[in-house]
Amino acid sequence: MSLSPTATSVTRKRRVGVIGSIVWDVIYGRDKRDVPMQEWGGITYALSGLDAALSDDWEIVPIIKIGFDLAESARAYCRSLKHMAADAALIEVHVPNNRVELRYLDDERRSEFLSGGVPAWTWLGLKTAVEAAHLDALYINFLSGWELDLETTQLLRAQFAGPMYCDLHMLVYSVQPDGLRIARPLSDVASWCGCFDVLQVNEDELAMMAPDPLALAATAMAAGCSCLCVTLGKRGAVYVAAPGFEKLSDLPARGGTTSSLSTSSRGGAGAFGAVRTALIPSVPPRIDGPGDPTGCGDVWGATHFSRLLAGDMLTDAMAAANRAASRNVEHRGATGLANHLRGELSVT
């Protein structure tokens, strides 16, 4: 059975599935008093970004497992989001949830120690969950690094015809016996790139995949990816786009079925024209001091994809993502973050 996007109607909201991991963070070095902060982390930043940036004709459907020890509080968090689908349900598993200890080394770099054991998706389990969710688009963010293996991701790409956005994030990290995450070179880079329409990495992640952005972009475009975005922290973000790709409706049809968001008949990333690249400058936060960079990349990607789903042009969507990441620096934690990103008063 094909995992094709369900046809939209006047009354039905379109649905974006979210694959990732909910994490409980303990953060050191972010507060001048050196008091550790405890709060939601992982995919909750992306969920907040989606909730703030999605247009009202879209709703969020988490395809997310949660450990038994945090299940009820995680459900309460999801219920607080305005764009969460009424039938949304986290999948409780009988293992301790993932927890991360973060120790900031400077304003942007940190060490991370992971504990917990929420398992990866099997293809059978994921296929069942995605089919039941009736999705029109998929946002994937590797927060544990093992949510999906390559074979499962390739099967998902082969059978899901809607747009797929991926933040590779922790896919290029391994976990040491003491829980420390360390960067590692990613194998089968082209195969991974070929699974997604839009791919997001930061500079450290890129270094584990290719010597420079253009080298990675060449691999990604040849594999069928339509856009590579590299976030650069305070400098903004750079993109490399395939010929003809300006917005999601330019994506080539998948699996013989044209996505409801795609009208292009082009046969692949190199069908015509030349690749484009540009730097989209960042927007300075409206606060004095370093602020809180935790989750900026997640908010950036979620906002970027939300605006693409709304029909925005690529560069406009990236500019919106830069603004949202800047606003994220002004807020601590994921609780109340969606309200803050919308410019509403929130209590944290």
- The C-alpha angle with vertex 321 and arms to 317 and 169, in degrees rounded to 5, equals 115
**What share of residues in the chain are helix, strand, coil (percent, to 5)?**
30, 25, 45
- The C-alpha angle with vertex 28 and arms to 24 and 34, in degrees rounded to 5, equals 135
Summarised one tens digit per residue, pLDDT across range 95-115 is 999 999 988 877 667 888 999
Question: So what's the pLDDT on residue 59?
Answer: 98
pLDDT > 90? residue 139: yes
Q: Give the helix/strand (H/E) hosting 189.
A: helix 189-193
What letter does residue 186 receive in the DSSP assignment? P
Question: So what's the pLDDT on residue 273?
Answer: 65
Identify any residues that bridge with 91 across adjacent strands, giving them in sequence order.
Answer: 65
Q: Which residue from 186, 187, 256, 192 is spatially nearest to 222, judged by alpha carbons?
A: 192
Question: So what's the pLDDT on residue 267?
Answer: 44
* Residue-range domains of the chain with CATH: 14-341 (3.40.1190.20)
Distances in whole angstroms, Cα of residue 196 to Cα of each of 23, 78, 167, 203: 24, 26, 10, 19
Question: So what's the pLDDT on residue 333?
Answer: 86
Question: So what's the pLDDT on residue 103?
Answer: 87
Q: Which of 33-47, 70-84, 293-307 has the lowest mean pLDDT?
A: 33-47
Q: What are the structure tokens assigned to 207, written together?
A: 């270094």
At 112, give phi and psi (nearest 5°).
Answer: -135, 135
Question: So what's the pLDDT on residue 105?
Answer: 76
CB neighbour class for 232 (10 Å; exposed up to 12, middle 13-18, buried from 19): middle
Summarised one tens digit per residue, pLDDT across range 177-206 is 999 999 999 999 999 999 999 999 999 999
Q: Percentage of residues in the chain with pLDDT exceeding 90?
A: 75
Question: So what's the pLDDT on residue 345?
Answer: 65
Q: Which residue has the tokens 């089919």?
A: 131
- The average confidence (pLDDT) of the chain is 90
Q: Where is pLDDT greater, at 205 or 264?
A: 205
For residues 75 and 91, is the Cβ–Cβ distance under 8 A? no
Mean per-residue pLDDT for 121-146?
97
pLDDT > 50? residue 256: no
Q: Which residue has the tokens 């247009």?
A: 55
The total of other beta-carbon atoms located within 10 Å of residue 161's CB is 22
Q: What are the structure tokens assigned to 15, written together?
A: 């649905």
Identify any residues that bridge with 14 across adjacent strands, giving them in sequence order.
Answer: 58
Amino acid at 197: D
For residues 184 and 174, is the Cβ–Cβ distance under 8 A? yes
Q: Which residue has the tokens 């398992």?
A: 119
pLDDT > 80? residue 55: yes
Region of 98 (left: φ > 0; alpha: ψ -120 to 50; beta: rest) is beta
Mean per-residue pLDDT for 205-218?
95
Q: Give the helix/strand (H/E) hosting 204.
A: helix 203-207
Question: So what's the pLDDT on residue 177?
Answer: 92
Question: C-alpha 203: how far from its chain's center?
Answer: 16
Q: What are the structure tokens assigned to 7, written together?
A: 């046809």
Summarised one tens digit per residue, pLDDT across range 11-39 is 789 999 999 999 999 888 766 556 788 89
Summarised one tens digit per residue, pLDDT across range 222-248 is 999 999 999 999 999 999 999 999 999
Question: So what's the pLDDT on residue 186?
Answer: 97
Identify any residues that bridge with 112 across adjacent strands, giving them in sequence order.
Answer: 102
pLDDT > 70? residue 44: yes
Amino acid at 54: L
The radius of gyration computed from the CA coordinates of the chain, to the nearest angstrom, equals 19
For residues 54 and 46, is the Cβ–Cβ distance under 8 A? no
Q: Which residue from 303, 328, 292 is spatially nearest to 27, judged by alpha carbons?
A: 292
Question: So what's the pLDDT on residue 271?
Answer: 45
pLDDT > 90? residue 254: no
Question: Sign (positive/negative) of CA torsion 227, 107, 26, 183?
Answer: positive
